[in-house]
A and B are shown apart, each in its own frame.
Chain A
C-alpha cells in the first residue's frame, strides 16, 4: 500500500508536458485511491481508522520525530477519491478548454502540481506534512489564479488569494507549534489519542489550538472575514475555478476541521463559532450572489454559501454530514463551473449573463448539465444536493448543538439559492440571443463528456448518503449521525426553494420596465448587495486606508530615514566586509604565513589569559 501510494505521488509529480500524461497521472492516482478504498471496505469498520503507512522515518532527533508517512483511513481515502476523481474529470475537460492556449503545458503541470499538493494535504499523517501540503496548495492556486499573467486583474487576484492564504498558513504554523508544545508530537494518532485525557472541554490550550487551526481553515475555505479572495479568484481559467474553488481546495478547511474532530469536540465554544460563521457566510454570500452579473462570480458566491453550509454542519458536530455535502457539492459545483466554462467557451469568453440568452437550443448538452447542476444546488428532491443539504438544514434544528437560529439562516439561504441559481439559468439559456455579435457553439466532446459524467454523479450521488456516513463514521467516534425525519421542516425548505425559483422566473418573465421599477424601489438594497456589502470597501476604509496612511507616514519617516538607511547600511557594510576579506586575500604567501602565526598567537593568548 505504502509503495503504491508513493508511486502514485511520483506519477502525479511527473510533469510531462502533455495533457494525456497529465490526465493519466491523475487517473492513475484515482485508481490507486479506488484500490485503497476497496481495501478499506474489506476491513471491519472498527479497524479502518489509524492506518499510518510509514513510508520512511525521515528525521529523528531526540524528542522530535518526523516520518514520511501517509494516513490511510476512511476520511483521507474519501477525500482522495473526490480530489482525484473530480480532478481527473476536470483534467479531461481542460484538454478541450485550454486547447488554444499557447501555455497549455504549463497549465497542465500546474494542475498536476495542485492535485499532488492536495493529495499530500489529505494523506498527511501529521501536522507537519499537512502544513507542507497546505502551503503547496496555496502556491499552486496562486500560480493557477494568476495564470493569465498578462491580465492585471488576474495577477492582483492571485496576490490577494496568496496573502489571505498566507494569513491562514501562519495560523496553521502557530497551531502546529502549540500542538507540539502541548503534546510533544505532531502525529495525528498521538495527538488525538492524548487529547481527551489531557484536557477538559473548553480548556484554554484546546481553544487556542482549535482557534488557530480555524484561522487556516477560514482562509482556505473563504469564510467571513477571510473570504474576499474567492470571488476575485474567478480571474483564473474556468477549469481552475472548478478544480480549486469548487471541488478541492476550498474544502480543505472543512477537511481540516473534520480531521481534527477529536480536538473540536473538546472545544464546543469554537464549534459554536464555526457554526455561526458558517451560517452567516452562507446567507451573506447568497444575498450577494443575487445581484452579480458575471456568471462565474455568481457561482463563486454560491460556493461560499455552500461552504457556509458545510461549516455549519461540522460546527454542529455533524462531521459526516459536512463531508457528505462536501462530496455532493464537489460534483454539482464542478458541474456548474464546467458548464459555465462551456458557456463562456461557446460565447468566446463572454461572462456577463445579461449578454447571454437562448443558449438552450444551441448548446443542449450544456443546458441539460447546467440545469441538473442548478437543481442539485437548490436541493431539488432526489438530486444529490437534496439529500445532503436537506440533512444539514434539518440537523441545524434537531442536532444537539443545533438551534432555531442556525436553522433559520440555513433555510433562508436555501430560498435565496433557488433565486440566484435560476436567475442565471434563465438569463443564459432561455429567451433569445441578446448580443447579435456572438456566435455561440456547442463545445467539443472532451468538454461535454466530463459534464455528463458529473451530471450523472450529481443526480445519483445522493443515494450514497447513508453509505458515506457509515463509511466515515469510524473516524468521527463511530456513530452514524441520526437521520431526522421532519416533514414539516423539509416542506418549509422546499417551499422556500421553490419560491426562490419562481421569483427568479417572475423576474425573468416580467418585462424590462417593471423590473426596472422593482429595482429602483429596492435600489439601496441592490446597491448594497451589488457592492458585496461594501466589504471590500470596508476593508479598504478600515484596514487598507489606515494602513496606507500609517504606511505612508512610516515610509516617509521611518523607512526612508530609518529602516532603509539601516538596511542600506547593513548591505553596504556586508559588501565592504566582503571586499575587505578579499583584499586580505592578497595572494602573498608570506602574508598568509604571518596570518597563521598571528592566529596561533591569538589562540595561545586566549588560552593563557583565559
Chain B
C-alpha cells in the first residue's frame, strides 16, 4: 500500500495561482483578436493575486512536501520582488511590443511561467526542486531572448544563451549529483545536518560538487568568469526582456544560491568562501571596468548588472542574517533602479529599435528635463549615492560583510563603487553638459504604461532610499 502524499496546497498557492493564470493567458490568446491588451491585464491580475496569496501561510518557516518546499520570510519577500519585477516588465512590454511588431500572445504567458519558476526557486529547499526551478526560468528566458524572431541579434542572443545555458545546467546538475552522492540526500536541511558531522567535510566528491555548483550558479547570475554571455544576450534581447532578465531571474537564482550555500553547506564554508570572494571581486572589477568604454546604453547596463552581481555575492559571502536581509533589500532596490533605467532606454529608443548610444543622450537635460532627472536618479542610485535606494542597499551589504570581518572585500567593493560612478556620471554629464551632435532629435515615446513604470521606479528608488525602515525590518524577520 502506497501512503498518500501529504499535500500542502496552501503553501503552494502562489505557484498554483500563477500557473493557472499563465495557462489561462495561453488559452485566452487563442480566442481574442490581435489586440493583446486583455492579456496584459489578466497577467497583472495574476501576478497581484500570486503575491497576495504568498502571504497565506504567515511568516514562520513552514516546510512541506517532505521538506522540499519552504515558506518563510525569504521566499515571501522574494515572491513580492518577482511579482513586482514581472509586472513592471509586462507593463514595459506593452508599447514596446506594439512598436516592434511582437504580436505573440504567448509572450505574457511565458513571463508568467518564468515567474512561477522563480517562485519555485525561492521556496525550494531541495536540490531537485532548485534544478527544476532554474530550468523553468532558463528555458523561459531562452525563448524570451529570441522573441524578436526576425531580428538577427535576437536570434543570436537566444542561441548563445541556450547553448551556454545548457552547458551551465550540465555543470549545475553534475554538481548537485555529486553533492547528493557525498551526502546521500537532496534536502538542504538534511545536507546541513549530515555536514555537521565532520567526517564528510573533506570528501573530494563533495568539494568537486561544490565547485561545479559554483560554476553553474556563477553562470546563471553572470559572475566572472562565467559572465561572457551576459553582454551579448542583454544587448540582443528586446529591451523589456533585458530589464526582466537582469532583475527577477537573477534574484531568483541568487535566492537558490543563497539557500544552498548558506542553508545547505555552511559547514564547509572554509572551502567555498574564499572562492566566492575571489569571484565577487573579479566580477565587480570586470563589470565596472568593462562598462567604462561601452557606448551602447544597453551594453553599459549589462556590464553594470554584472558588477551588481558582484556586490550581491558579497552579501552571500557574509552569510549572516544581515547578509540575508541586505540581499533581499538589494534585490528590491535593484529591481526599481534597473527597471527605471531600462524604461527610459525604451522610451528613448529610436523607432527602428536601435538602441541609443551614450552620446545620443547629449542635451537631454534641457529638452526633456523630467526624463533626464529620472535617469539621473536611477543612475546615481545604481552607483550608490545617498539618499537613493542603491546607497542603502550597498550600505547594508557592506556592513554585513564588515560584521563578519571581510574588510578587504568591502574596501574593494567601495573602490568599485567609486569606479562605477565614472560611467554613470558620464551619462549624466552627456545629458546635462553636452550639446547634441548632428540633427538627430531624441523623441520619447510616452506610452502611459511606460510612464507608469518610470513613476513606480522613481518612487521606489527614492522611497527605499529615504525610508528603508519597514522593508528592512520585514527582511529581518
Q: Which of B208, B211, B228 contacts A591 (CB 8 A)?
A: B228
Q: Is the CB of B293 within 8 A of A578?
A: yes
Cβ contacts B446-477/A at 8 Å (1 or 0 each): 00000000000000000000111100100000
A60-B472, A578-B292 given as contacts; is B167 within 8 A of A593 (CB)? yes
| Cβ of B298 to closest chain A Cβ, rounded Å | 14
Q: How far is the CA of A592 from the CA of B271 in the complex (A)?
A: 26
Q: Select the stretch in A215-223, A414-422, A580-588 that faces chain B.
A: A580-588
Cβ contacts B276-297/A at 8 Å (1 or 0 each): 0011000000100111111000
Q: Select the stretch in A118-126, A196-204, A423-431, A602-610 that faces chain B.
A: A602-610
Which residues of chain B (257-312) have a CB below 8 Å from chain A?
Answer: 271, 274-275, 278-279, 286, 289-294
Q: Is the CB of B164 within 8 A of A593?
A: yes
Q: Is the CB of B171 within 8 A of A600?
A: yes
For the complex of A and B, 5 pairs with smallest distance between CB atoms? A599-B225, A592-B228, A581-B290, A61-B399, A578-B293
Residue of B nearest to A591 (CB): B228
A59-B392, A595-B225, A603-B275 given as contacts; is B468 within 8 A of A589 (CB)? no
Q: Select the stretch in B98-106, B214-222, B429-437 that faces chain A.
A: B214-222
Q: Is the CB of A599 within 8 A of B466?
A: no
The answer to whether the Cβ of B207 comes within 8 Å of any Cβ in the partner chain is yes
Q: How far is the CA of A595 from the CA of B232 in the complex (A)?
A: 15
Q: Is the CB of A575 within 8 A of B228?
A: no
Q: Is the CB of B215 within 8 A of A596?
A: yes
The answer to whether the Cβ of B395 comes within 8 Å of any Cβ in the partner chain is yes
Residues of B within 8 A of A574 (CB): 289, 292
Cβ contacts B201-214/A at 8 Å (1 or 0 each): 00000011011101
Q: Is the CB of A606 within 8 A of B472?
A: no
Q: How far is the CA of A577 from the CA of B419 in the complex (A)?
A: 13
Q: Is the CB of B215 within 8 A of A599?
A: yes
Residue of A nearest to B207 (CB): A607
Q: Is the CB of A606 within 8 A of B275?
A: yes
The answer to whether the Cβ of A598 comes within 8 Å of any Cβ in the partner chain is yes
Q: Is the CB of B322 within 8 A of A61?
A: yes
The answer to whether the Cβ of A477 comes within 8 Å of any Cβ in the partner chain is no
Residue of B nearest to A68 (CB): B466
Q: How far is the CA of A602 from the CA of B226 in the complex (A)?
A: 12
Q: Is the CB of B403 within 8 A of A62?
A: yes
| Cβ of B34 to closest chain A Cβ, rounded Å | 36
Q: Is the CB of B211 within 8 A of A589?
A: no
The answer to whether the Cβ of A58 comes within 8 Å of any Cβ in the partner chain is yes
A596-B219, A599-B225 given as contacts; is B466 within 8 A of A582 (CB)? no
Q: How far is the CA of A23 from the CA of B36 in the complex (A)?
A: 50
Residues of A within 8 A of B279 (CB): 603
Residues of B within 8 A of A64 (CB): 399
Q: How far is the CA of A592 from the CA of B159 in the complex (A)?
A: 13
Please indicate which of the listed interface residues A56, A587, A600 has the most CB atoms of chain B within 10 Å of its own CB: A600
Q: How far is the CA of A584 from the CA of B164 in the complex (A)?
A: 16
Residue of A nearest to B223 (CB): A599
Residue of B nearest to A56 (CB): B467
Cβ contacts B406-442/A at 8 Å (1 or 0 each): 0000000000000000000000000000000000000
Q: Which residues of B contact A (CB under 8 A)?
A: 159-160, 163-164, 167-168, 171, 207-208, 210-212, 214-215, 218-219, 224-226, 228-229, 231-232, 271, 274-275, 278-279, 286, 289-294, 322, 392, 395-396, 399, 403, 466-469, 472
Which residues of chain A (243-265) have a CB below 8 Å from chain B?
Answer: none
The answer to whether the Cβ of A39 comes within 8 Å of any Cβ in the partner chain is no
A68-B466, A603-B215, A607-B207 given as contacts; is B163 within 8 A of A589 (CB)? yes
Q: Is the CB of B395 within 8 A of A59?
A: yes
The answer to whether the Cβ of A491 comes within 8 Å of any Cβ in the partner chain is no
Query: What are 13 of the A-B contact pairs (CB < 8 Å)?
Result: A58-B469, A59-B395, A68-B467, A574-B292, A578-B290, A581-B286, A595-B226, A596-B228, A599-B225, A600-B171, A600-B211, A607-B271, A610-B274
| Cβ of A424 to closest chain B Cβ, rounded Å | 43
Q: Is the CB of B211 within 8 A of A604?
A: yes
Residues of A within 8 A of B275 (CB): 603, 606-607
Q: Is the CB of A603 within 8 A of B211?
A: yes
Residues of A within 8 A of B274 (CB): 606, 610
| Cβ of A58 to closest chain B Cβ, rounded Å | 7
Q: Is the CB of B289 within 8 A of A592?
A: no
Q: Is the CB of A59 within 8 A of B164?
A: no
| Cβ of A106 to closest chain B Cβ, rounded Å | 13
The answer to whether the Cβ of A349 comes within 8 Å of any Cβ in the partner chain is no
Q: Is the CB of A598 within 8 A of B290?
A: no
Total interface residues on A, CB under 8 Å, equals: 34
Residues of A within 8 A of B171 (CB): 596, 600
Q: Which of A581, A598, A604, A607 contacts B289 (CB 8 A)?
A: A581
A61-B399, A610-B274 given as contacts; is B211 within 8 A of A582 (CB)? no
Q: How far is the CA of A574 from the CA of B288 in the complex (A)?
A: 10
Q: How far is the CA of A607 from the CA of B215 in the complex (A)?
A: 13
Please indicate which of the listed interface residues B210, B215, B279, B403 has the most CB atoms of chain A within 10 Å of its own CB: B215
The answer to whether the Cβ of A579 comes within 8 Å of any Cβ in the partner chain is yes
Residues of A within 8 A of B225 (CB): 595-596, 598-599, 602
Q: Is the CB of A600 within 8 A of B468?
A: no
Residues of B within 8 A of A60 (CB): 469, 472
| Cβ of A371 to closest chain B Cβ, rounded Å | 47
Q: Is the CB of A592 within 8 A of B211?
A: no
Known contacts A589-B164, A592-B228, then 9 further A-B pairs from the complex at CB < 8 Å, ordered by chain A residue: A577-B289, A585-B232, A585-B290, A596-B167, A598-B225, A603-B211, A606-B274, A607-B211, A607-B275
A589-B164, A592-B160 given as contacts; is B292 within 8 A of A58 (CB)? no
Q: How far is the CA of A498 from the CA of B225 in the complex (A)?
A: 83
A56-B466, A58-B468, A600-B171 given as contacts; is B229 within 8 A of A592 (CB)? yes
| Cβ of A379 to closest chain B Cβ, rounded Å | 45
Q: Which of A581, A587, A602, A603 contacts B232 (CB 8 A)?
A: A587
Q: How far is the CA of A415 from the CA of B225 in the complex (A)?
A: 78
The answer to whether the Cβ of A57 comes within 8 Å of any Cβ in the partner chain is yes
Q: Which of A58, A589, A591, A596 contacts B466 (CB 8 A)?
A: A58
Q: Is the CB of B399 within 8 A of A62?
A: yes
Q: How far is the CA of A606 from the CA of B278 in the complex (A)?
A: 11
Cβ contacts A31-62/B at 8 Å (1 or 0 each): 00000000000000000000000001111111
Residues of A within 8 A of B322 (CB): 61
Q: Is the CB of A61 within 8 A of B396?
A: yes
Q: Is the CB of B211 within 8 A of A595?
A: no
Q: Is the CB of B226 within 8 A of A599?
A: yes
A61-B395, A607-B275 given as contacts; is B207 within 8 A of A575 (CB)? no
Residues of B within 8 A of A581 (CB): 286, 289-290
Q: How far is the CA of A596 from the CA of B286 in the complex (A)?
A: 15
Q: Is the CB of A57 within 8 A of B469?
A: yes
Q: Which of A61, A582, A593 contacts B293 (CB 8 A)?
A: A582
Residues of A within 8 A of B214 (CB): 603
Q: How far is the CA of A56 from the CA of B470 in the complex (A)?
A: 10
Residues of A within 8 A of B207 (CB): 607
Q: Is the CB of A604 within 8 A of B208?
A: yes
Q: Is the CB of A589 within 8 A of B160?
A: yes
Residues of B within 8 A of A56 (CB): 466-467, 469
Residue of A nearest to B214 (CB): A603
Q: How far is the CA of A86 from the CA of B292 in the complex (A)?
A: 49
A56-B466, A606-B275 given as contacts; is B226 within 8 A of A596 (CB)? yes
Q: Which of B168, B278, B293, B472 contacts A596 (CB 8 A)?
A: B168
Q: Is the CB of B231 within 8 A of A600?
A: no
| Cβ of A598 to closest chain B Cβ, rounded Å | 7
Please indicate which of the listed interface residues B159, B167, B278, B290 has the most CB atoms of chain A within 10 Å of its own CB: B290
| Cβ of A543 to closest chain B Cβ, rounded Å | 31
| Cβ of A53 to closest chain B Cβ, rounded Å | 15
Q: Is the CB of A575 within 8 A of B232?
A: no
Q: How far is the CA of A600 from the CA of B469 in the complex (A)?
A: 40
Q: Is the CB of B289 within 8 A of A600?
A: no
Residues of A within 8 A of B231 (CB): 585
Residues of A within 8 A of B395 (CB): 59, 61
Residues of B within 8 A of A577 (CB): 289
